[in-house]
Structure 1
Amino acid sequence: MLVAMLVLAGWWVAGLFGQDKPKAEGAAPLPVASAASASGLPSPEPAAAGSCDESDISVSAATDAPSYAAGENPMLILEVENTGKSDCEVDVGTEAMEFIVTSGEDRIFSSKDCAVETGELMRTIAPGESERAQFTWERQRSAPGCTAVNANPQPGTYVLTTRLGSHKSEKVIFDLQ
């Protein structure tokens, strides 16, 4: 059951990167592709004219709340931003992405532990723009190789870190009641 939920969650997270997101007020609208694929996602973009520097990619983590009541599942957020001056082509697929929850030195959860079908999803991110993925963590422990874990997280303080390829976010602290 946990494997199936994580596989579906991985596909859902990858799909989130392809969704339109609200633009800041006053921002110029993006041009609409004349031919969209049957899935509703934009047609593939041509490769960026130049390549950006790896240091122009910033990955951050967040949660949708600082604390969660008993039975309330945390929304974990990964955001990748292009801080440079040229377009960056970035793999935002489930193979490159990871959500990691720890408590002290104890590794509680990783979105990679039970991922079955991961993939690459290339996106071109314009300077100053970002892409965001959200993952609902159902308060379950996981272990590498998807081995069974009998204990679930208890009330306390937890730390979220996200990764996208070689880029790692700063730590974000949240509480479970």
Structure 2
Amino acid sequence: MSSSPGRARRHSPAVYRRRRLALLLVLIIIAAVVWLLIARPWSSGAAVEPGDAQGQDAQPILPVISTSPEPSDGVSGTPTSTPDDTTAETPGTTDAATDAASPSAARTPSPGVTAAACTPNDVTVQAVTDKKSYASGEDPQLSIELVNESDEPCTLNVGTSAQVFTITSGSDTWWRSTDCQSEPSDMLVVLNAGQKVSSSQPITWDRTRSSVATCQAKNRPQAAGGGASYHLSVQIGGIDSIDDAIFQLY
């Protein structure tokens, strides 16, 4: 006589609880993995810092000109076009400098008035250093100042593509800001009559000789100290500085 099929063995409640717990843990792990892939908490606060501006590999981006406070008639320089939005870099030494903020927005000339291009007869440009002499280990800070001396507004390119800083000693050119410049940009502004503008942040010269062939060099010739005299000249928008800024290195 054949026997009837046996009934399936029923597990104890403890076994079911363990299975439910294991399933719950698996679901929690899956949810955690999905959250990590979406939220990426490890990237929080990990914004890339600017490169070491002290390095010889750094490429110069000249400082954009910033406008002075509005004159008494309430007008100031007005950008007519601006370069691509870039992140400001930390002020640098050597051939590196900060690409500073754009000139402050202001009132444009009256409708129908077209500002002609600025000429050397309209604008005076001045080379500026933060000191007249520098002790050993101190690096000169270089800037530009310009004033629209005319009675009419005029338009000038004050972007990084239009700025040149040159340091000479006698007939020897020691350093030129454009030797290793990368990604220059244009910025056209309207300079109103009597308006003064200046570099928003200075360029730091690390007292070395520059050339297009040594942009990546780690050890470039150092400028002589001991009271040696140097001249800074600048150019912006095709207009040369009226005088050199003279300083000494010790």
Q: What TM-score comes out, normalization by structure 1 length?
A: 0.78
Q: Of 158, 167, 175, which aligns to 1:101?
A: 167
Structure 1 residues 161 and 116, CA gap change in structure 2 (3 angstroms): same
Structure 1 residues 53 and 121, CA gap change in structure 2 (3 angstroms): closer
Shift of 1:21: 3.6
Q: Quick check: 1:3–1:114 contact (8 Å CA) kept in 2?
A: no
**Other-structure match for 2:234:** 162
**Other-structure match for 2:246:** 173
For 2:138 and 2:70, locate their aligned partners in 1 and report how far apart those are by CA, in whole Å. Answer: 29
Larger Rg: 2
**Residue 184 (structure 2) pairs with residue 112 (structure 1):** no
Give unpaired runs (5+ residues) of structure 1.
none
One-letter amino acid matched to 1:157: S
Greater RCO, 1 or 2 (C-alpha within 8 Å, sep 6+): 1
1:1-177 matches, within 5 Å, as 1-7=55-61, 10=62, 13-14=63-64, 17-18=65-66, 21-22=68-69, 27-30=72-75, 41=102, 42=104, 49-51=114-116, 54=119, 55-133=121-199, 134-147=202-215, 148=217, 150-155=220-225, 156-169=228-241, 170-177=243-250
Give unpaired runs (5+ residues) of structure 2.
1-54, 87-100
Shift of 1:136: 1.9
> Between Structure 1 and Structure 2, which shows a larger proportion of strand residues?
1
Percent same amino acid among aligned pairs? 27
Q: Quick check: 2:115–2:190 contact (8 Å CA) kept in 1?
A: no
Runs of 4 or more above 6 Å deviation: 37-40
Deviations 1:95-121 (A, max 9, x none): 110110001111100110000110111
Q: How many residues align?
A: 164
Shift of 1:28: 4.9
Structure 1 residues 166 and 101, CA gap change in structure 2 (3 angstroms): same
69-78 or 39-48: bigger deviation: 39-48
- Aligned residue for 2:58, secondary structure, equals helix
Q: What TM-score comes out, normalization by structure 2 length?
A: 0.57
Shift of 1:23: 5.7
How large is the Cα RMSD of the aligned pairs?
3.0
- Aligned residue for 1:4, secondary structure, equals coil
For 1:50 and 1:30, locate their aligned partners in 2 and report how far apart those are by CA, in whole Å. Answer: 14
Shift of 1:45: 7.2
One-letter amino acid matched to 1:49: T
